[in-house]
Amino acid sequence: MSEQFSSSVDVSGEDIHWDFKDAMSYGGYLGLERLLTSQKCLTEEHDEMLFIVIHQVGELWMKLVLHETEGGIAHLQRDEVGPALKMFARVSRIQEQLIHAWDVLSTMTPADYLAFRDALGQSSGFQSFQYRTLEYRLGNKNAALARVHKHNPPAHRMVTRALELPSLWDETLRLLARRGYAIPAELVERDWTQPYAPSEAVEDVWRTIYRDSETHWEAYELGEKLVDLEHKFQQWRFNHMKTVERIIGYRKGTGGTSGVSYLVKALDLRFFPEIWTVRTTL
Ligand code: HEM
Ligand SMILES: N[C@@H](CC(=O)c1ccccc1NC=O)C(=O)O
């Protein structure tokens, strides 16, 4: 073994020796070489680095949110509510990080952003395949939005798979049906690519669960976790819309939408509709 690839150190009387060729290192394990050379600014503008890093951090958190959401859904499929709740609790904490990231981006003024905005061309958050995958897994099935990814086959496969699978809400209703709650049969087996249509029968089930939570404790806890998750998703959307308003005003979006008014409309979307409507009649 060559001397330069090995080392030993005396730590509290213990001789620790390692071989660098095989040893795991901090940067190697974390892939820092790729991670920290992936901030490729197109301009010399100071704030472009902030813009890139905020998006990269967002995509990394989204990766973990997807991982935890998949894990949580898999537990629900196996009727393991407790471990699913543990994963959704983590999702909510990650969402808090995503929400607070807007405060960092808000330090960028309109002039700072406009200085490099033209370099972005027609690229836009619309093209985030992880975001679209997440929306589909949670239950917002707008099939048209998958087409954006058709020129990127791995992304298209990921998004299409999410479109075709039962969402978190679908799996929640299937679990309730297995537990004897009166979920309509056409919601237990359906074409999952289609948007979910709210049902009075489902609202009735949640009314039963909420009115007597002590006898329906697991279902009640699951319902409240989903409320947290959707509430935080709404907060993220709202902060996005307000940050966009303060940075580009009422300009059109680079992705071709009207901009702020498009983002305002997106605030009306619901992943778990009956869990909200039931609250009016509890
Ligand atoms: C200066 C900052 C930003 C501006 C001006 C902005 C603006 C917009 C606009 C106008 C849209 C609508 C699509 C379009 O026409 O382009 C949009 C969509 C989107 N943006 Fe941003 N955005 C900003 C930052 C971010 C950040 C930091 C993220 C994520 C980390 C993000 C994620 C998204 C996503 C996922 C969509 C698609 C939303 C949907 O389809 O409902 N944006 N953004
Ligand atoms: N839609 C934004 C551009 C934008 O925000 C963006 C552009 C490239 C990569 C990520 C982006 N972020 C989210 O939409 C705009 O209209 O200025």
At 3 the pLDDT is 44
Whether pTM exceeds 0.80: yes
What is the per-residue pLDDT for 14? 75
Q: How far does the centroid of ligand 2 lie from the alpha carbon of residue 116, in Å? A: 11
What's the CA gap between 42 and 90, in Å, rounded?
35
| Domains and their CATH numbers in the chain | 1-36 (no CATH), 48-248+258-281 (1.20.58.480)
Mark the binding-site residues for substrate, compressed into ranges. Answer: 51-55, 113, 117, 254
pLDDT greater than 50 at residue 11: yes
Residue with tokens 């990650």: 94
- For residues 57 and 99, give the distance between their C-alpha atoms in angstroms, rounded to a whole number: 12
Per-residue pLDDT tens digits for 198-251: 999 999 999 999 999 999 999 999 999 999 999 999 999 999 999 999 999 999
Structure tokens that stand for 72 in this block: 């949580």
**So what's the pLDDT on residue 6?**
64
Task: Please identify, by atom number, the ligand 2 atom nearest to the C-alpha of residue 126.
Answer: 14
pLDDT surpassing 80 at residue 13: no
pLDDT tens digits, 240-265: 999 999 999 999 999 999 999 999 99
Kindly state the average pLDDT of the residues 135-155.
97
For residue 9, give the 3-state DSSP assignment.
strand
Q: CB of 260 within 8 A of CB of 240?
A: no
User: Using an 8 Å Cβ cutoff, are 72 and 140 in contact?
Assistant: no
Report the mean per-residue pLDDT for the chain: 95
Any atom of ligand 1 within 6 Å of the Cβ of 184: no
Whole-angstrom distance, CA of residue 126 vs CA of residue 159:
13
What own/partner pairs with CB < 8 Å and gap ≥ 24 does 229-234 have? 229/88, 229/91, 229/92, 229/95, 229/138, 229/271, 230/138, 230/270, 230/271, 230/272, 230/275, 230/276, 232/92, 232/95, 232/96, 232/99, 233/95, 233/138, 233/271, 234/267
Does any ligand 1 atom lie closer than 6 A to the CB of residue 253?
yes
Residue located nearest, by CA, to atom 16 of ligand 2:
253
Its ipTM equals 0.97
Residue nearest atom 23 in ligand 1 by C-alpha distance? 244
Spell out the residues 6+ positions from residue 14 whose beta carbon is closer than 8 angstroms to its own. none
**What is the model's pLDDT at position 1?**
40
What pLDDT shows up at residue 19?
Answer: 67
Q: Looking at ligand 1, which atom is closest to the CA of residue 124?
A: 16
pLDDT of residue 204: 98
Residue 12's pLDDT is what? 75
Q: pLDDT tier at 74 (50, 70, 90 boundaries)?
A: very high
